[in-house]
Amino acid sequence: MNALLRPPSTSAVSLSFVPPAQSVPIGQSVSVDVVIADLGADEVGDFDFDVSFDPTILTPVDVTFGILLGDPALVEALTSFSFLPGVVDLAEVSLLSPPELEALQPDSFALATLVFNAVGAGSSRLSFPQVILDDAFARPLAIQAENGSVSAVPEPGTLWLLGIGLTWVIAGQWKRR
């Protein structure tokens, strides 16, 4: 059906993190894709959303946008992101026509890839507290957002050294008695 004549979809598209859960050693970086799925006959024309996380566990490092709303390097899309305490705000607006978006976008694809550094031990929930997602005609799309998580764990070498140190302390205390 011609994209200009098609009514907006009433079914919800899925917005999720891929992988949905992962572990990373403290001090290492981790990448998480923000994936849209179940588009059906719809196309994404623009988005603006926040990703929340625990800043005591993760620090954002970079955002890379996909090219399926248009290639920002070719000025087919405009992108923006900012890092706030506990939030990554990212947005993209396609400058392509609805037929071009229809030809370009599959049913499921990555909107962006987020890169974090693990800075503290624990598990950080990743969620979408605010989402604006529109089709190629700037009509809002219904969204079903799914949370994700990243667990930052101490490196095994660190735990081993801590265990050795505790053993020496206990042995020293026992020897003095």
Please say whether the beta carbons of 8 and 142 come within 8 A.
no
**pLDDT digits 0-9 by tens, 36-89:** 999 998 999 999 999 999 999 999 999 999 999 999 999 999 999 999 999 999
Residue 8 lies in a domain: no
Residue 60 lies in a domain: yes
Token duo for residue 61: 């490092």
CATH of residue 137: 2.60.40.680
| Count of domains for the chain | 1
Check the CA dihedral 134-51-93-117 and report its sign: negative
Phi and psi angles of residue 125, each rounded to the nearest 5 degrees, phi first: -75, 140
Residue 56 lies in a domain: yes
Residue 4 lies in a domain: no
**pLDDT digits 0-9 by tens, 150-177:** 999 987 665 566 667 767 777 667 666 6
**pLDDT digits 0-9 by tens, 12-24:** 999 999 999 999 9
What pTM did the predictor assign?
0.82
Residue of 45, 113, 42 whose CA lies nearest to 77: 45
Q: SS3 for 59?
A: strand
Examine the pLDDT at 3 and tell me if it is beyond 70. no
**Residues in a beta bridge with 47:** 92, 133
Kindly list the distances between the CA atom of residue 128 and the CA atoms of 16, 59, 79, 117, 133, in Å, as whole numbers in the listed order.
9, 17, 18, 19, 12
Q: What SS3 string covers 25-57?
A: ECCCEEEEEEEEECCCCCCCCEEEEEEECCCCC
Phi and psi angles of residue 76, each rounded to the nearest 5 degrees, phi first: -95, -10
Please say whether the beta carbons of 96 and 76 come within 8 A.
yes
Residue 5 lies in a domain: no
Residue 68 lies in a domain: yes
Which domain does 146 fall in, by range? 13-176
Mean pLDDT (whole number) for 90-108? 96
Q: SS3 for 12?
A: coil
Residue 3 lies in a domain: no
**What pLDDT score does 4 carry?**
46
Q: What SS3 string covers 84-126?
A: ECCEEEEEEEECCCHHHHHHHCCCCEEEEEEEEEECCCEEEEE
Residue 1 lies in a domain: no
